[in-house]
């Protein structure tokens, strides 16, 4: 690794973080309301909060909650399974070719992805704490499919702040872009360039949307299946 290049990358991240912290929040960013949300609905996913009805109903994430989010997002079931899938596909396609198509290549790909995920999540959780950006996903309740889809897309690029409103997720952009460009320092030569860093950044936002979609759509499906199993067990 070039010391000069490493210092430049680190300086870029620090400068970007300082600039982002000074940018004004976008105007008109309103929290999505879930007027049909039921207070008595069972907590299917206790770690996935529901969309607050009004900004005053929002409860900011605590330091402990931020640490739990980092742990779950880094080594939780979804992240680990995603790593298995992406590493398996990369091994089958022999990309990057320096790792090869054997088990050790699979392990190297998995380790590289886990390093990137942990670095990105650390940046998002740490930098976001400075201006109160909430990294959690907030799911809707009893909403039609279009509203659910809009919520998943919106919270891929925006996040709540202490005022209970949604703003552009500056820390997330910094984390995804900064992590993927910084990781060029320790990646194999065939993917250690700005073009691949931009591709990985796009994939990072895509993966975030898929994670949000799971959090949005799986709980109601799980609820319906659970109720169906209960009726089946009780009989006619």
- One pLDDT digit (tens) per residue for the chain, 236 residues: 343 444 344 444 444 434 433 333 333 333 343 333 344 344 445 578 999 999 999 999 999 999 999 999 999 888 888 899 999 999 999 999 999 999 999 999 999 999 999 999 999 999 999 999 999 999 999 899 999 999 999 999 999 999 999 999 999 999 999 999 999 999 999 999 999 999 999 999 999 999 999 999 988 777 777 655 445 445 45
* Tokens representing residue 96 in the block: 């990057």
pLDDT for the residue numbered 224: 73
Predicted pLDDT at 78: 85
Instruction: Give the CA dihedral 159, 82, 179, 137, nearest 10 degrees.
Output: 10
Quickly tell me which residue has 């939780």 as its tokens.
Answer: 76
What is the per-residue pLDDT for 221? 78
Find where tokens 């070719």 sit.
97
Phi, psi of 128 (to 5 degrees): -65, -30
Burial zone of 226 (CB within 10 Å; 0-12 exposed, 13-18 middle, 19+ buried) = exposed
R_g over Cα of the chain: 20
Q: What is the DSSP letter of 49?
A: P
Check: CB of residue 19 under 8 Å from CB of residue 173: no
Q: Where are the domains of the chain?
A: 57-234
Alpha-helix residue ranges (DSSP H) falling in 42-144:
63-75, 77-93, 103-131
226, 43 contact by CB (below 8 A) = no
CA distance 230 to 44: 15
pTM score of the predicted model: 0.75
Residue with tokens 């005053």: 56
What distance in Å separates the CA atoms of residue 129 and residue 172, rounded to the nearest whole number? Answer: 12
CA angle 111–114–117, rounded 5-degree value: 155
DSSP assignment, residue 50?
Answer: B
What burial letters (b/e) apply to 15-36, b meaning 16+ CB within 10 Å?
A: ebbeebeeeeeeeebebbebee
Cα–Cα distances in angstroms (integers) from residue 153 to residues 139, 205, 214, 236, in the given order: 11, 10, 12, 41
């Amino acid at each position: 690794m070039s010391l000069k290049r490493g210092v430049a990358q680190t300086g870029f991240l620090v400068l970007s973080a300082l600039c982002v912290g000074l940018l004004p929040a976008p105007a008109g960013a309103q929290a999505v309301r879930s007027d049909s949300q039921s207070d008595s609905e069972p907590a299917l996913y206790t770690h996935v909060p529901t969309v607050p009805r009004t900004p005053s109903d929002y409860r900011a994430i605590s330091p402990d909650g931020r640490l739990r989010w980092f742990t779950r997002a880094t080594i939780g079931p979804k992240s680990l399974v995603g790593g298995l899938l992406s590493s398996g596909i990369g091994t089958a396609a022999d990309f990057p070719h320096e790792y090869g198509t054997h088990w050790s290549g699979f392990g190297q790909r998995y380790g590289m992805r886990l390093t990137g995920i942990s670095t990105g999540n650390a940046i998002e959780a740490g930098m976001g704490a400075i201006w109160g950006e909430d990294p959690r996903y907030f799911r809707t309740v009893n909403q039609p499919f279009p509203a659910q889809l809009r919520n998943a897309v919106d919270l891929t690029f925006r996040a709540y702040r202490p005022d209970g409103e949604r703003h552009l997720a500056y820390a997330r952009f910094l984390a995804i872009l900064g992590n993927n460009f910084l990781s060029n320092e320790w990646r194999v030569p065939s993917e250690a360039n700005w073009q691949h860093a931009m591709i990985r950044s796009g994939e990072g936002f895509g993966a975030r949307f898929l994670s949000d979609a799971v959090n949005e759509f799986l709980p109601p499906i799980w609820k319906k299946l659970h109720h169906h199993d209960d009726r089946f067990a009780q009989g006619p």
